[in-house]
Amino acid sequence: MVDQGDMNAIAKLAQLIMRHAPESGMCGTPMQRLSLIRSNEPSAPVPAIYEASLCLIAQGAKRVSLGEHSVVYDASRYLLVSVDLPLVGHVLEASADLPYLCCKIDLDLSALADLLVDERGAVPRHDLPVLAVYPGDPDLIDAACRLVGLLDRPRDIAVLAPLIEREILYRLLTGPHGALLRQMACVDSHLAQVNRAIATIRKGFQTQLRIDQIAASAGMSPSSLHHHFKAITRMTPLEYQKQLRLQEARRLMLVSGVSAGSAAFAVGYDSPSQFSREYRRLFGAPPRQDIARLQTSEDHAEAV
């Protein structure tokens, strides 16, 4: 149950996001790891890559899905994503009068490692969900308010933003998901190894996937990579790369106005017909129809 103090803090966070994100869509900020999201209406399910991050909703509700696994979060529950995942997001509650409002804080793994430098002998767990929601935390909401509030005092950002981000990481470490964050920061954990594999795939997703090279970058054998990658992301490395390609092609068509054929070639497809089939399977419509729909709705705000 949310008490009056928490409600006031959430209302303050909503006001800050409203002021600094006046239009629908995802809004970047002068703080590299802070983004603000607003939607004035519910959205259709939209596939997108979610970086390892903390998402705090100040108003409205959203469902995110990884394969068959879905979670719903709102102002009373926050979302924690611990690896870069291709998720399907669906804004459930939003209107022009009460828009969906969210702040997204990407996790700084180097700062997280610094916080753990004095911890020795902790045994990382391997059974923790990489996509989960948790009950609202007034300390996190307060810190998020102060972080977003720095947008009103840009001269303070360089000094104070890193301190508030560090506080947020500390709050997460001392919360119910502390073991998960320790696993993220432990270089020898399977989660950290899969994270390195994901970074390698994202860096060269347009090229032919070489499992042995990806495994080497993660410090794993090919068989171990395949097993743990699928256990954590619910897809194989090849399926992950395919989603990256299709989402980048969608972005190119929507933002840059390139043709479906040009987008397919740019992301590594040799066969336009294969591209069209796989695109339709992921997004529910062929490229031209899907882009036309996005251009006449607010869904494109989440697609990019």
Percent of the residues in the chain that have a pLDDT greater than 70, as a whole number: 91
The H helix count followed by the E strand count for the chain is: 13, 10
The structural architecture, per CATH, of the domain 4-185 is: Sandwich (2.60)
pLDDT the model gives residue 4 = 59
User: Please, which pLDDT band fits residue 13 given cuts at 50, 70 and 90?
Assistant: very high
Q: What is the mean pLDDT of the chain?
A: 88
Q: pLDDT per residue over 71-97, tens digit each?
A: 999 999 999 998 898 888 999 999 999
d(CA 196, CA 189): 11
The highest-level CATH class for domain 239-303 is: mainly alpha
Q: Hey, do 4-185 and 190-234 end up sharing a CATH topology, with the first three levels equal?
A: no
- pLDDT at 304 exceeding the cut of 50: no
pLDDT the model gives residue 72 = 97
User: Please, which pLDDT band fits residue 295 given cuts at 50, 70 and 90?
Assistant: confident
- pLDDT at 302 exceeding the cut of 60: no
d(CA 246, CA 216): 25
Q: Which long-range contacts (CB under 8 A, 24 or more apart) does 158-166 make?
A: 161/31, 161/34, 162/111, 165/33, 165/105, 165/108, 165/111, 166/111, 166/115
- pLDDT at 7 exceeding the cut of 80: no
Domain boundaries, the chain: 4-185, 190-234, 239-303
Residue found under tokens 């509650």: 93
The structural architecture, per CATH, of the domain 190-234 is: Orthogonal Bundle (1.10)
- Angle, CA 193 vertex, CA 187 and CA 199 arms, to 5°: 110
Q: pLDDT per residue over 216-226, tens digit each?
A: 999 999 999 99
pLDDT the model gives residue 130 = 86
Residue with more model confidence, 183 or 26: 26
Q: What is the pTM of this model?
A: 0.82
pLDDT the model gives residue 255 = 82
Measured in whole angstroms, the distance separating CA 149 from the mean position of its chain's CA atoms is 22
Q: pLDDT per residue over 206-218, tens digit each?
A: 888 889 999 999 9
d(CA 20, CA 87): 26
User: Please, which pLDDT band fits residue 122 given cuts at 50, 70 and 90?
Assistant: low
Q: Can you state the angle between helices 211-218 and 190-203, rounded to 10 degrees? A: 130
Percent of the residues in the chain that have a pLDDT greater than 90, as a whole number: 59
CB-CB contact of 182 with 124 (8 Å): yes
* Eight-class DSSP state of 185: H
Dihedral angle of Cα 254, 258, 261, 263, to the nearest 10 degrees? -60
Residue with more model confidence, 14 or 190: 14
Q: pLDDT per residue over 50-67, tens digit each?
A: 889 999 999 999 999 987
Q: pLDDT per residue over 124-163, tens digit each?
A: 555 668 899 999 999 999 999 999 999 999 999 999 999 9
